[in-house]
Structure 1
Amino acid sequence: MKPIRDAQLGAFTFFASALPHDVCGSNGLPLTPNSIKILGRFQILKTITHPRLCQYVDISRGKHERLIVVAEHYSRNVGDFRQEQTARICVSPEKVLQVAYEVLEGLDFMNKHGLVHRALSPNNVLLDCKGNVKLAKFGLYHMTDHGADVDFPIGNPSYLAPEVIALGCFHPSDPSHSETPLPSGPKSDVWSLGILLFELCAGRRLLQNIELSDKLKFILTLGCMDDIVTVLAEEHGCLEIIKEMPENVVELLRKCLTFLPSKRPTPAELLGDPVFDAVSCHYLPFQKPVSLFSSSLRCAHLELPDDISDLCKDDDEDYLSERGIDEVYHLWCLAGGDLEKELTNKEIIQSKPPICTLPKFVLEDGESFGQGRDRSFLLDDTTVTLSLCQLRNRLKDVAGEAYYPLLEDEQSSLPQSNSSNELSATVTLPLIIRERDTEYQLIRIILFDRLLKGYPYKKNLMWKEARVDIPPLVRGLAWAALLGIEGDIQAKYDSTDKDTPIPTDRQIEVDIPRCHQYDELLSSPQGHIKFRRVLKAWVVSHPDLVYWQGLDSLCAPFLYLNFNNEALAYACMSAFIPKYLYNFFLKDNSHVIQEYLTVFSQMIAFHDPELSNHLNEIGFIPDLYAIPWFLTMFTHVFPLHKIFHLWDTLLLGSSSFPFCIGVAILQQLRDRLLANGFNECILLFSDLPEIDIERCVRESINLFCWTPKSATYRQYAQPMKAGGEGIFGKTATYFSSDYQDMPKTDLSREPLALCDLKAEVSPRISAEDLIDLCELSLAGPTKRSKSGKPKIVAVDIRNVEDFGRGHVSGSINIPFNSVFGPDGELVQCPASGVLQNYRGRVIVIVSHAVKSAALFAAHLVKVNFSRVCILDGGISKLKPTGLLTVPSPQI
């Protein structure tokens, strides 16, 4: 996004056509409001960037089909030339040619993107501080579907081409029109340009003080004239002025004002006309900015000052003006900006008493009451400038250094400003507050922007900063970086066949209209088209997998964040699924799902045995509620704004982190679950209560850090792959690593048949896990909690003689039959007292046979001992290591 610099933020408003409330579409669903359609089409306009075009920034949907568009704006336009010139001083021919060439540059770029201006007029040809042309409102014709979604014509009648006027006014609800007219083409803008240039040359407006019908008749009668330029000059009394203009300028006017479209040149053809030979040499060809994920070098045209410290020398420099216009608008909103309030203050939006805004209703006798829509407010061409004073005042304490953070500095993540202490304290506030803090978000956006520009070389720093939080404005690109997206993703996406019909098409068509349709963007027709293309691309490019219901929900967060970049949404989705949902989308995925749910059951028992016991007693197993959770990674359960916060952390964790999220959700519902039976629990999960996502994330991380890495081992998980350092890196805790990413040894966990896995209540951990946790090479357990006590204890349930022949250093010996009675009840004895002292720690049951260890662990879970697990392979796995301790004989 280009810097805002001398530009301003402008907003204008209009109404979309209202649809009847009692009409449904062919699918039986209510018709999509025209404002939603416009909102969806608008999104692509934000990607159209050119020096001759005003950048579109945002669109807001209000009440009664009102839409407010925000775009780059300048207060000066070519219409001001008429006010600046006098009878003796006219616009110079050189200036006319400059304006013409720059307008044609903008029109040609639009045409290459399939756009037509159609609303070209002096008010929409703006001038920046250097006097260069900036075309405004060039997307109005596109976003309104060529005017079909609004009740007003697109364009000023005085500047519309004859063929446009001949078509007349069209509205889809008008029964007199059996067919939709063809949309205007690029040549219609050339006529509008001709009228505009003629006015610059003549120094006056054409067709002034004439009724609209007479204007239209006059324009249509020009088709009978041989020389339209001369006729217009005579009609407006400026023939002498036109005759004094150079021949090349008059010839340009004649080419633009060619009546028949077939003989009129296109903007591209005019740009190559010899009339611009003396002008074109002053302009360099436009180079499209290189995107983050492509095969091109992003640093090819990078220029840095000789001394970087010069960037922050001037304390009075306006650093905010160097930020992207989208960033400035985002911060403006955070600083209290309100579009409707701004337009209301300028009387563009006029408030009325509620009784005057009631819609019409008709009584049985035919008498009508209420107010109809005031058609004069369907479109107001006025653009209101949004004041940045409040934003600048909010950011006045941010020092210049904060706009250029040093990434390798240990303190680079701390905001550098006069209020740095306050900003440092902001990090400890809830996420929802941080995301609404203007100064904090500025610091984070700048930092992430620099990290993304250095991607993939700054990937480690990206992970470090993402552990703090991810700014919403850059979330889409940040997620792509965390997922390791690289290379020319667009070429790969384009090479995928998304058009040929496949059997899955029918199911996709059924699922999309039900997927997150509360969101305006995803519910728009453009959203449905993009949904369909991305999902189909994934299905076609993964022939070994199939489309399962829920894949659309999984796609939704990526599509929402990358709405204008389908290739990136597809690439993120393709990287996400193998990491967290490996083989979930096989045609027969029952063995994968069942293993996943069984491990989840063990995680519930590991972290919350009381809840696990209750759910098992009433038969409320994970199969009844957790499949949609994990198949869609919770996107089918939570709205998008909660998924964003949840996935910000999920993407930093390993493939086992979703288990902890699931347990954290159950723990938030713990009291209600423990108090209810099977039927009540079913009803509870059919309409899931409000879940505190920030608390869920916080508790998930804690659960994740207490879970031994091998406890969540799954034989159907993704094979070993080079991974990161885990959710908190090497400095946090051992429990944050991912067991699936580690090379397998003789001490690793062995695959277990599903029936055997289901028979065990507690999870198993590997021998290497136990060695690392207890640090056996140092002859003693040293993993300790915050209280100073060891976090893990090995409980050896063999008899005293076997224990004396060799045991894990630091383990305690509690023979199987010494603490549990025949019915599994806990017997009051010294051994059980010792066991009670270890509540809250990770308890590893060690035995000769794993079955006896599993039974002992099940008894502990039954009496609500948490964090109980079993040593996979038993004590025999440790014998070859030579790490077992044998007591010295007493003399």
Structure 2
Amino acid sequence: MRPLKDAQLGAFTFFASALPHDVCGSNGLPLTPNSIKILGRFQILKTLTHPRLCQYVDISRGKHERLIVVAEHYESSLSDFQKRGITASPEKVLQMAYEVLEGLEFMNKHGMVHRALSGHNVLLDCKGNVKLAKFGLYHMTDHGADVDFPIGYPSYLAPEVIAQGSFHPSDPSRDVAPLPSGPKTDVWSLGVLLFELCAGRRLLQNIDISERLKFILTLGCMDDIVTVLAEEHGCLDTIKELPENVLELLRKCLTFLPSKRPTPTDLLRDHVFNGVSCLYTPFQKPVSLFSSSLRCAHLELPEDISELCKDDDEDYLSERAIDEVYHLWCLAGGDLEKELTNKEIIQSKPPICTLPNFVLEDGESFGQGRDRSFLLDDTTVTLSLCQLRNRLKDVAGEAYYPLLEDEQSSLPQSNSSNELSATVTLPLIIRERDTEYQLIRIILFDRLLKAYPYKKNLVWKEARVDIPPLVRGLAWAALLGIEGDIQAKYESIDKDTPIPTDRQIEVDIPRCHQYDELLSSPQGHVKFRRVLKAWVVSHPDLVYWQGLDSLCAPFLYLNFNNEALAYACMSAFIPKYLYNFFLKDNSHVIQEYLTVFSQMIAFHDPELSNHLNEIGFIPDLYAIPWFLTMFTHVFPLHKIFHLWDTLLLGNSSFPFCIGVAILQQLRDRLLANGFNECILLFSDLPEIDIERCVRESINLFCWTPKSATYRQHAQPPKTAGDNGFGKTATYYSSDYQDMSKTDLSREPLALCDLKAEVSPRISAEDLIDLCELSLAGPTKRTRAGKPKIVAVDIRSAEDFSRGHISGSVNIPFGTVFSPDGELVQCPATGILQNSRGRVIVVICHAMKSAAMFAAHLVKVNFSRVCILDGGINKLKSTGLLTVPSPQI
């Protein structure tokens, strides 16, 4: 969106038509409220950015179908000319006409018409340039069908609109709705406006509504409507004195028959504007972030370079985008309903006074006419920014222009830098509501994203701190590595031809996150359908599985007005985290995934793992929806946003850690319950603290060896140098799946063999890395001085003496465990007890023995137990095995 500059934020309100409560649609579901329909259609208006249009910013839905719209606003309008009786000069008339037509033409190219042109909806900025307001009212209300008031003003409506009469879908006397108004209706309204500017007075104001309509309709018999109007209003001499080009423009606009009336595009290219059009440069839409076109800032340095260094009274906030300013206004305590209530636009009434009629005990009936508060109130309330500016008064000017060098701090120096630094340590939900902190983060991310992909590593670095909600959609796209002309690719996909999956998609969409007003709107359903179908069509080797709609929901919500970006993000997300999950036969992929998850539970929480296995509550019963939808099926969107902010920084094994973290939050209840109670618990999942879940997931991930989550059905390794991250992009180690295969890598394991092992295997190269093994290297130690990893060699003492890993301990299998798997008290047992809390790698030459030893450790609640894949034989070729020196 464009900068705020000298504009203000304005809000106006209206009511949508109420629907009957006892009527359902053809699908058996309740009818979608008209307010939600309007909310869905409104979204596209936020993308219409043009110098001649007031920028739409937001819409909110209140009680009783009330809607409040926020948009760019200016106090001055053409009504000021009319109120003061000022006659505009011919040059001014032509200038305003040209600017209005520019705005109308831009709207027409996007399939919209204004239909509500009037003096108070043609605003003027500080330079006197036209800004059309309320141009989206006709579009968002489905040509007036979703509201109880007409769109437009009788004095300015075109004759063909008046001839159609009023219409409402609930009106039983009208079977067929009138055709929507076209671009030519606005040309007539413009003609009336220009006539009033030239005459210095308003038309048809002194006669009642029925007489006005009759007069306008009788104009069809006149040859020169301009002359008739001038005679009727006593300004014929004034009109006759106008230049010929202005008179010609008025006659063309006020052409009675629509077939002969020009469109805005026709008029803009008409010779009447020959002296005006050369003063304006054609509008060029800014290049989007993901496009094949080059992005550049057309900078013009002033002749005097000192102009760039003005005094400290610069209004930096006005240089920020309108949507940013509004977002910060809300964070600073802005309340739309309160603002409208203070201006008496919203007035509360006792419930009894809102009834259409009521009857007293004696049978006397009282009634009231239509409540005029449910009709359109044209008043636009200016939202004061004083509270926001006061909140940001201590933010230094440098904060609005942060440096992007790697060594620079992300928090600029200001009078409140200490408070900002302290804010970083606060819970995420508090940071997201801190006005000053969000300003800093939004500005920083805005600059980083504009420099994408060149500053990709910095995007990753800052995303580790947090992602501002306002820029989350673009930030996720950057984290997923989206590049190129995504719009062209999306448009090339056939989303209209019927396919067998259509039926299932139609059934799933009305059940997917429908608590959200945006996704439950008809526009949301249409976009859902198109994005999902685009993915199915463009991936012929994969199929649509239930849950794909839930996976699509976060991307569609964040990119509601950019289906191409929602599709691109979804297409990049699935192969990274859900590779081959959507095969027609995905049983082998799912089973391997769940088996690895079971091993992760045993690795991190053996007591919980033992209990769940004893009662038969296996991941197949509860975890498939978790991983198939990456938790979008079980959590609401606001929790998914915080969860995925971190998930996107991790690799394909990070979801395992999220799953374990969820189980650990429910740990006490799971340990206390049996199978049936656990089933009931997961049928209605209790409240999960997402911030705690994220924090614990990161800790679990850091304790998980990279190769422990190896899956042979995961995404194949990427090309060298492309691991999906930046070099410093994540707090986690790189994905084991992305690493080149060597002789020391993990070997694929048959599913039956994988299921037979309780503990995960790790590769020889992982062991070498964790122990920092070299010919003279020590083991890696924690801050407490103890090794983070302990290698337990369970071979016999004789085999151990022939060669072993430096620093490993020799505990032969039979010395610590009895035949029934119980620990035997001996010196070796003490060594194991002292190893609790560290990663225990079981090493043997026979994998079956190693797996059994590890299973016994898990059974007695040893955590972080894993097995060396391939056993000691894998290390023989490395030269890292040591042999004890002979005794002299």
Q: Deviations over 1:255-277 (max 9, x none)?
A: 10000000000000000110000
1:415–1:424 CA contact under 8 A, matched in 2: no
Q: 1:362 to 1:790 in 2, by over 3 A?
A: farther
Q: 1:524 to 1:86 in 2, by over 3 A?
A: closer
Name the counterpart of 1:841: 838
Q: Deviations over 1:238-258 (max 9, x none)?
A: 001101111111111011000
Supply the distance in 2 between the matched residues of 1:308 and 1:547 (Cα, whole angstroms): 59
Q: CA deviation at 1:477?
A: 0.2
1:77–1:123 CA contact under 8 A, matched in 2: yes
Q: Work out whether 1:548 is the aligned partner of 2:545.
A: yes
1:846–1:874 CA contact under 8 A, matched in 2: yes
Q: 1:358 to 1:626 in 2, by over 3 A?
A: farther
1:584–1:593 CA contact under 8 A, matched in 2: yes
Supply the distance in 2 between the matched residues of 1:690 and 1:365 (Cα, whole angstroms): 53
Q: 1:164 to 1:866 in 2, by over 3 A?
A: same
Supply the distance in 2 between the matched residues of 1:259 and 1:550 (Cα, whole angstroms): 56
Supply the distance in 2 between the matched residues of 1:54 and 1:390 (Cα, whole angstroms): 23
Q: 1:360 to 1:842 in 2, by over 3 A?
A: farther
Q: CA deviation at 1:737?
A: 2.5
Supply the distance in 2 between the matched residues of 1:417 and 1:860 (Cα, whole angstroms): 55
2:292–2:485 CA contact under 8 A, matched in 1: yes
Name the counterpart of 2:12: 12
Q: 1:242 to 1:175 in 2, by over 3 A?
A: same
Q: 1:796 to 1:40 in 2, by over 3 A?
A: same
SS in structure 2 at match of 1:28: coil
1:511–1:549 CA contact under 8 A, matched in 2: yes
Supply the distance in 2 between the matched residues of 1:367 and 1:588 (Cα, whole angstroms): 72
Supply the distance in 2 between the matched residues of 1:647 and 1:361 (Cα, whole angstroms): 53
2:85–2:201 CA contact under 8 A, matched in 1: no
1:467–1:728 CA contact under 8 A, matched in 2: no
Q: Deviations over 1:347-389 (max 9, x none)?
A: 1101223443468789999998898861344210000000000
Q: CA deviation at 1:416?
A: 2.5
Q: 1:761 to 1:368 in 2, by over 3 A?
A: farther
Q: CA deviation at 1:787?
A: 2.3
Supply the distance in 2 between the matched residues of 1:733 and 1:573 (Cα, whole angstroms): 21
Q: Structure 1 stretch 675-684 or stretch 207-216: which is displaced more?
A: 207-216
2:457–2:726 CA contact under 8 A, matched in 1: no
2:606–2:858 CA contact under 8 A, matched in 1: yes
Q: 1:372 to 1:482 in 2, by over 3 A?
A: farther
Supply the distance in 1 between the matched residues of 2:729 and 2:481 (Cα, whole angstroms): 23
TM-score by length of 1: 0.97
Q: 1:262 to 1:347 in 2, by over 3 A?
A: same
Supply the distance in 1 between the matched residues of 2:201 and 2:752 (Cα, whole angstroms): 88
Q: 1:89 to 1:623 in 2, by over 3 A?
A: closer
TM-score by length of 2: 0.97
Q: Deviations over 1:63-95 (max 9, x none)?
A: 0000000000000001212xxx89996310000
Q: Deviations over 1:210-260 (max 9, x none)?
A: 111111111111111111101100100000110111111111101100000
Q: Structure 1 stretch 343-352 or stretch 611-620: which is displaced more?
A: 343-352
Identify unmatched segments of 5+ residues in structure 2. Answer: none
Q: Deviations over 1:437-485 (max 9, x none)?
A: 0000000000000000100000000000000000000000000000000
Q: 1:495 to 1:279 in 2, by over 3 A?
A: same
Q: CA deviation at 1:128?
A: 0.4
SS in structure 2 at match of 1:337: coil
1:779-858 to 2 correspondences below 5 Å:
779-858=776-855
1:798–1:848 CA contact under 8 A, matched in 2: yes
Supply the distance in 2 between the matched residues of 1:833 and 1:373 (Cα, whole angstroms): 86
Supply the distance in 1 between the matched residues of 2:500 and 2:358 (Cα, whole angstroms): 48
Supply the distance in 2 between the matched residues of 1:492 and 1:729 (Cα, whole angstroms): 26
Supply the distance in 2 between the matched residues of 1:655 and 1:330 (Cα, whole angstroms): 34
Q: CA deviation at 1:299?
A: 1.0
1:136-155 to 2 correspondences below 5 Å:
136-155=133-152
SS in structure 2 at match of 1:263: coil
1:397–1:417 CA contact under 8 A, matched in 2: yes
Supply the distance in 2 between the matched residues of 1:86 and 1:668 (Cα, whole angstroms): 67
Q: 1:309 to 1:242 in 2, by over 3 A?
A: closer
2:464–2:730 CA contact under 8 A, matched in 1: no
Which of 254, 258, 264 is the aligned partner of 2:261? 264
Q: 1:539 to 1:680 in 2, by over 3 A?
A: same
2:773–2:779 CA contact under 8 A, matched in 1: no
Q: Structure 1 stretch 767-776 or stretch 593-602: which is displaced more?
A: 767-776
Q: CA deviation at 1:5?
A: 0.3
SS in structure 2 at match of 1:379: coil
Supply the distance in 2 between the matched residues of 1:675 and 1:642 (Cα, whole angstroms): 27
Identical aligned residues as a percent: 91
Q: CA deviation at 1:776?
A: 1.2
Q: 1:431 to 1:360 in 2, by over 3 A?
A: farther
Name the counterpart of 1:29: 29
SS in structure 2 at match of 1:730: coil
Q: 1:509 to 1:731 in 2, by over 3 A?
A: closer
Which of 480, 484, 493 is the aligned partner of 1:483? 480
Supply the distance in 2 between the matched residues of 1:843 and 1:134 (Cα, whole angstroms): 70
Which of 174, 178, 182 is the aligned partner of 2:175? 178
SS in structure 2 at match of 1:582: coil
Q: Deviations over 1:512-551 (max 9, x none)?
A: 0000000000000000000000000000000000000000
Q: CA deviation at 1:409?
A: 5.3
Supply the distance in 2 between the matched residues of 1:151 and 1:553 (Cα, whole angstroms): 35
Supply the distance in 1 between the matched residues of 2:584 and 2:765 (Cα, whole angstroms): 35
Q: Deviations over 1:154-209 (max 9, x none)?
A: 01111000000011110011111111210000000000000000000000010112
Q: Structure 1 stretch 376-385 or stretch 328-337: which is displaced more?
A: 376-385
Supply the distance in 2 between the matched residues of 1:409 and 1:388 (Cα, whole angstroms): 34
Supply the distance in 1 between the matched residues of 2:111 and 2:83 (Cα, whole angstroms): 40
Q: 1:346 to 1:410 in 2, by over 3 A?
A: same
Supply the distance in 2 between the matched residues of 1:87 and 1:854 (Cα, whole angstroms): 92
Q: Work out whether 1:531 is the aligned partner of 2:513.
A: no
SS in structure 1 at match of 2:380: strand
Supply the distance in 2 between the matched residues of 1:716 and 1:108 (Cα, whole angstroms): 54
1:654–1:726 CA contact under 8 A, matched in 2: no
Q: Deviations over 1:91-116 (max 9, x none)?
A: 10000000000000000010000000
1:426-825 to 2 correspondences below 5 Å:
426-722=423-719, 736-777=733-774, 779-825=776-822
SS in structure 2 at match of 1:620: coil
Q: Deviations over 1:117-150 (max 9, x none)?
A: 0000000000000000000000000000000000
Supply the distance in 1 between the matched residues of 2:686 and 2:367 (Cα, whole angstroms): 41
SS in structure 2 at match of 1:332: helix
Supply the distance in 1 between the matched residues of 2:408 and 2:174 (Cα, whole angstroms): 67
2:775–2:880 CA contact under 8 A, matched in 1: no
SS in structure 2 at match of 1:743: coil
Q: CA deviation at 1:311?
A: 5.0
Q: Deviations over 1:22-81 (max 9, x none)?
A: 000000000000000000000000000100000000000000000000000000001212
Q: 1:507 to 1:227 in 2, by over 3 A?
A: same
1:23–1:30 CA contact under 8 A, matched in 2: yes
Q: Deviations over 1:652-689 (max 9, x none)?
A: 00000000000000000000000000000000000000
Q: Deviations over 1:542-564 (max 9, x none)?
A: 00000000000000000000000
Supply the distance in 2 between the matched residues of 1:52 and 1:729 (Cα, whole angstroms): 42
Q: How large is the RMSD of aligned CA atoms in angstroms?
A: 2.1
Supply the distance in 2 between the matched residues of 1:86 and 1:392 (Cα, whole angstroms): 33
Q: 1:207 to 1:691 in 2, by over 3 A?
A: same
Q: 1:543 to 1:88 in 2, by over 3 A?
A: closer
Q: 1:730 to 1:248 in 2, by over 3 A?
A: closer
Q: 1:309 to 1:805 in 2, by over 3 A?
A: farther
1:360–1:372 CA contact under 8 A, matched in 2: no
Q: 1:807 to 1:110 in 2, by over 3 A?
A: same
SS in structure 2 at match of 1:777: coil
